[in-house]
Amino acid sequence: MMLLPDLQLFKAEFFKALAHPVRIRLLEVLRHGERSVQELQAALTVDQSTVSQHLAILRAKHVVASRKEGTTVRYAVRDARVGALLDVSRAIFNAQLTGSQTMLRALRRESRRPPRRRATRPA
Amino acid sequence: MMLLPDLQLFKAEFFKALAHPVRIRLLEVLRHGERSVQELQAALTVDQSTVSQHLAILRAKHVVASRKEGTTVRYAVRDARVGALLDVSRAIFNAQLTGSQTMLRALRRESRRPPRRRATRPA
DNA sequence: TGACTATATAAGAATATCGCCATATAAAGA
DNA sequence: TCTTTATATGGCGATATTCTTATATAGTCA
C-alpha cells in the first residue's frame, strides 16, 4: 500500500543521509569549515573508498557540495542550518543519555569549543 | 575497520529513527499532541501492523512514549525539541527544493497552521 | 468464560545498505 | 608518455530494513 506524499519521502531521504555514524562524523568536521577528502580521512580513520562513498551519499542528498582544487577535492556543508540541526539533536541526546555516563561525558566534550591543540604542556 | 565512538553510533540510531516516510508522518502528527494508534492509523492510511511496527521503532529509540488507557494505547513525543528538529529540517528542504514546484507547494502548505477544518462554506 | 476490539509481535521474502577490494579517472610533474 | 598522488566507482558477500500475513496478548462487555 503506502501512497504517502513525495514530500515525506524526500524528508526521509534527508534523514537517511544523516543516519550513519561515519556521515555524522563527516558533518561534524565539515560544519567547522571546508575540508579535503584527505583531511576528512585523517580525522575519521576509515579508509579512502569508504570516505568517498559516504561523501557521495551526502552529495547525492545535497547535504554537502564539492569543489575541485587541482588534484584535491574540497567538501563543504551546503546549508549552514545543518549545524543547527546537529545542535538540536545534541540537546535531545543530552536529555536522553541520563543513563550512560560515558556517552554523556563524550557529548559534553563535543560541545566545548574545538579542542585547540594544547601548545605548552601543563604546569 | 570502523572503531568510531559509541556516541556517533548512538546519534546515527536516532536519525535512523526519523529516516522513514511513515515515521516522519507519525511524528508530524504526534508533535501536535498525544494520539491513539487508531488515530494515527487513520491519519496515515497504512495498515495496523505497519503502524505498530513503526511505533515500536520510535519507542525503541526513545523518540516517543506510550501510555495505556483502557483498551487503547496513546503515543506522545518524548522531547518537545523533536518539533524544532522537524522545523529546522523543513527550512533546509525549503532552500533545497527550489526545483520542484509541487513539493515546494506541499512544504508551504505544511507550515501553515493546522488546516482547522472549515466550518462554513466560503461566500 | 466467550466474543469482540485494540494493539503487538513473529516469520519470511524482497530489497537496500555497508564495508572491502580492486580498479578507474584525473591532475601534476618528470 | 610514464609515474605518482588524490579521489571516485563497480562488484560482491554480509547484514539490516521493510512490508505482508498470521498469530498473540490484553481489556471490555455480555
Average pLDDT over residues A6-22: 93
pLDDT in tens, B28-71: 999 999 999 999 999 998 999 999 999 999 999 999 999 999 99
User: Residue A3: what pLDDT?
Assistant: 42
- Whether any strand D atom is under 7 angstroms from the Cβ of B24: the reply reads no
User: Residue A77: what pLDDT?
Assistant: 97
Q: pLDDT: is B119 or B56 the higher one?
A: B56
C-alpha–C-alpha distance, residues A85 and B104, integer Å: 20
Which residues in chain B have Cβ-Cβ distances shorter than 8 Å to A7?
A: 93, 103, 106-107, 110
Per-residue cell: B106: 506541499
Position of cell 562524523? A25
Find and list the nucleotides of strand D having atoms within 7 Å of a protein beta carbon.
Answer: 5-10, 17-23, 26-28
Between CA A82 and C1' C6 the distance (Å) reads 40
| Position A117 pLDDT exceeds 60 | no
Which band of pLDDT confidence, cut at 50, 70 and 90, is reported for residue A119?
Answer: very low
Other CB atoms closer than 10 Å to residue A18's CB: what's the count? 25
Between CA B14 and C1' C16 the distance (Å) reads 19
Residue of A nearest to B44 (CA): A4
pLDDT in tens, A57-105: 999 999 999 999 989 999 999 999 999 999 999 999 888 877 677 788 8
Residue of B nearest to A90 (CA): B11
Between CA B91 and C1' C3 the distance (Å) reads 51
DSSP A43-100: HHT--HHHHHHHHHHHHHTTSEEEEEETTEEEEEES-THHHHHHHHHHHHHHHHTTS-
Chain A from 70 to 99: CB within 8 A of any B CB: 78-79, 81-82, 84-85, 88-89, 91-93, 95-97
Other CB atoms closer than 10 Å to residue B71's CB: what's the count? 6
Predicted TM-score (pTM) of the model is 0.86
pLDDT in tens, B79-104: 999 999 999 999 998 888 776 677 77
Q: Of B4, B19, B85, which has the smallest distance from its Cβ to A88's Cβ?
A: B85
User: Residue B122: what pLDDT?
Assistant: 36
